[in-house]
A and B are shown apart, each in its own frame.
Chain A
Amino acid sequence: MRRKFFVAVFVILSLLLFSALPASAATEGTVTGTFSTNAPPTVTSVTFVPTSMTPQVSQTITVPVSDADNISDLNTVVFKLWLDSDGGTPTEGEFNAASASAANGAVITWTHTGGTTSTTVITPATTTWTLGASTVPTSNPHFNGTTFTFVFVLTVGKVATETTNPALWQIAVKATDDVSQTAWAYDAEGASMNWYGEISIPATTVTWSGLPPGTDFVAIAAQKTLGNAVTYISNGAYDEKVRATASWAGATYTATLDATGAVSSSQQFALKADDTATYSSAVLVDTVGVTIDDTGVQTIEVGDSAANNNLWIKLASTFNKDTYSGSIVYIVTNGT
């Protein structure tokens, strides 16, 4: 009886042990069945040909994206363009941290919303950064293919920060599939951002009337304040300059600008200008352009309003009565 019991125990234990082993047989490659795959997406490349960008000019970036499970497996394709102050090769960490702002970065997000529908949006919204007619999947065979070349067209905002070495604007893309697998790639060169300067002057009048010949700069009637502000928009350092046309024509006579301020000959006049009402800081205006402010820095999108521009005039002691016409030109230029 006992012997039978021991034999039974042995057999049961042996069977239990052998039943635990068959899993190892799988290493011999005898499993049959279907393949189930969810391959991660691939961003083959990010191609941006120019080495520099110009604000307010549309830029084109080409991004081939692959997914062995078809493009329909993609959830999002996120394109980022961001300011990298130390330049070099972008990292995925920098990509993830980059956010949209008028001065420092833009994000275009393509989202697959189901079937053959998708949305593409750009941030920062309601700025001068705009999205152009981009190429994204719209139908089949786009979605049921394994590769699609996205083409993003965007216009760079007015105050996208101008770069100076070593800063660069980096350009990279990350694709995410429906099981959150990701792939990213970047443009190896990056791009510099060119300086942008804009000047806006509303319809403005300046009138000196009833000036006697020989009027000096310091005469009360010689000083005029511009009726409207001059607005400057720039993505970097800028200077404000002023110049005047060399001769101002009257109905009968002509007045000539004397950039030295001496006005020693008849019909000569001189001008001084400043962006304040303080005469002592005013500078003599010439026909090329003199700097009245060299401290301009990157502005916000609505610009920097210079509301206190003043002009001073000086006339030669011999000057004919007439109504003279000419131009005074306010200039925005890249900072020196």
Chain B
Amino acid sequence: MKRLIWLFLITILCTVFWSVPVQAGSNIAISGSFYRYHFKMLPGESLITPDVYIVVFNQDVEAIRVKLIPQIPPGVTIRLSQTEFEIPAKGEKRIEAGLIVDKQAVPGEYIISITADIQAAASEGIAIVGSAQQQAKLTILGEAGEVKITTLGLHDEVLPAEIRLYQKADGQLVPAGYTKTGIIQTRLAPGNYFAQAFYQDTEVAKQDFALAANEKKEVILKAQLVFIETFAAVPNYYEKNQEIAFAKIPYAVKTFQSLKEVKAILMVSFGGETEKMEIVSLPALEVGVFDGNYKYLPSQGWENGVYSFVMQIYSEGHLRAQSSEEKLEVKIPGSNLLVTELSAGAILALVFIIFFILMRRKKKKEVSRQ
């Protein structure tokens, strides 16, 4: 009996207690573009672009402290713009994620991830907490080509545009490069690419290109810096008979660079012929928006049919922008009058004939009486 009591006491003394005081709840979320891509990179290559990011949300009613934990294979670094931060209640934090692959990294396919952990205040016990993660695929390749991409302005000068470079793979665009200087020079995995240039948040050029292993390629993005933002052909009618009086042509031209010797040409096509008229002529146009209205009336008068309108902007003799085609269908009320006139003429002729016949008959009767 004594032995049993001693055994019981020893067991109690060796017992492990795992306890948890009440913890605060956790409510965290994650989104962003990081997960979306299958990154294909070369040893020694890095990818730092605002296109690759995560967004961490605090959906709780109290502020939380978050730590980001990357999971990566040896030789790969996920460069995060911040790794620890506080998010206020119902707030969010966007973090850009860059990828750096060392020259010694081993080619292969990997799953990489970023986990947003809530940093709970130290407490006694076993905390049950929530965490949100995004994971993506990374393939480290063995061979490469080289490309230089340059954005040029109106006078072929280097334009400090934002270039976003993507690899086209499996129907999606995977970020492959980024710059704000207007020039990217980089090594890339062989494949198909798409380069896009933005100037003041407006897309000014884009181009597809392919790159083969060991190929050196130069890509020029010629920026379009003049845009026709508004262009329309609005019919104005006579109130009395709803016949078209003139077409109002509202236009707005936006330019990102100042222009010299500016001309706006309106081209109106009808019945296979095109009428060209200069509606604006300016010695210079400053950066910004220039707008106005033009009242168009055909030199030969309106006719039934479809008129098409196109506007072109020239500077120093070079075409800088062209509008889309605007169509205006013209129907002149009573345009079937020709038929009416012919019918009326026929009736009139018939009346004349009847009248003539009757008169002849009458004359004949008078002659026969005599």
Contact = CB atoms under 8 A, between A and B. Distances in A.
Given A64-B229, A207-B18, 8 more contacts: A31-B240, A68-B250, A165-B172, A194-B31, A197-B29, A197-B132, A210-B16, A329-B130
A289 B133 contact: yes
Given A17-B347, A23-B334, A33-B239, A336 B135 contact: yes
A66 interface: yes
29 contacts: A6-B358, A9-B355, A13-B348, A20-B340, A23-B340, A24-B337, A24-B340, A26-B334, A35-B237, A35-B239, A42-B230, A42-B250, A56-B57, A64-B229, A195-B35, A197-B29, A200-B130, A202-B25, A207-B19, A209-B17, A209-B19, A289-B133, A315-B16, A321-B13, A321-B17, A323-B19, A332-B132, A333-B134, A334-B135
Contact of B127 (A9, A33, A319, A328): A328
A117 interface: no
Interface in A21-61: 21, 23-24, 26-27, 29, 31, 33-37, 39-40, 42, 44-45, 49, 51-52, 54-57
Given A33-B238, A35-B238, A334-B135, A324 B230 contact: no
Contacts of A202: 25
B127 A326 contact: yes
Contact of B17 (A17, A146, A322, A328): A322
Interface string A132-166: 00000000000000110000000000100000011
A51 B123 CA distance: 44
Q: Which of B35, B94, B332, B340 is the most central at the interface, judged by chain A CB atoms within 10 Å of its CB?
A: B35
A159 to B, nearest CB: 12
B171 A165 contact: yes
A196 to B, nearest CB: 4
Interface in A207-227: 207-213, 226
B89 interface: no
Contacts of A20: 340, 344
Given A57-B31, A201-B25, A210-B15, A325 B243 contact: no
Interface string B124-136: 1111111111110
Given A21-B344, A36-B237, A248-B126, A334 B35 contact: yes
A241 B236 CA distance: 67
Contacts of A56: 29, 31, 55, 57, 92
Given A198-B27, A200-B59, A329-B129, A212 B11 contact: yes
B22 A203 contact: yes
Contacts of B134: 195, 197, 333-334
Given A31-B241, A198-B28, A44 B229 contact: yes
Contacts of A331: 115, 130-133
B234 interface: yes
Nearest to B12: A210
Given A54-B55, A327-B129, A29 B301 contact: yes
A231 B33 CA distance: 23
B15 A211 contact: yes
B201 A230 contact: no
Interface residues of A, number: 88
B330 interface: no
Contacts of B9: none
A175 to B, nearest CB: 13
B243 to A, nearest CB: 7
Contacts of A196: 29-31
B153 interface: no
A330 B129 contact: yes
Nearest to A20: B344
B124 A325 contact: yes
Nearest to A323: B17
A23 B337 contact: yes
Nearest to A328: B128
B160 interface: no
Contacts of A78: none
B232 A66 contact: yes
B348 A57 contact: no
Contacts of B362: 2-3, 6
A69 to B, nearest CB: 9
Nearest to B172: A165
Interface in A75-126: none
A2 B33 CA distance: 100
A44 B231 CA distance: 8
Contacts of B172: 165
Given A20-B344, A230-B130, A35 B23 contact: no
B135 A330 contact: no
B145 interface: no
Given A45-B229, A205-B23, A207-B20, A37 B237 contact: yes
A316 B133 CA distance: 31
A299 to B, nearest CB: 12
A192 interface: yes
B125 A24 contact: no
Q: Which of A13, A40, A165 is the most central at the interface, judged by chain B CB atoms within 10 Å of its CB?
A: A13
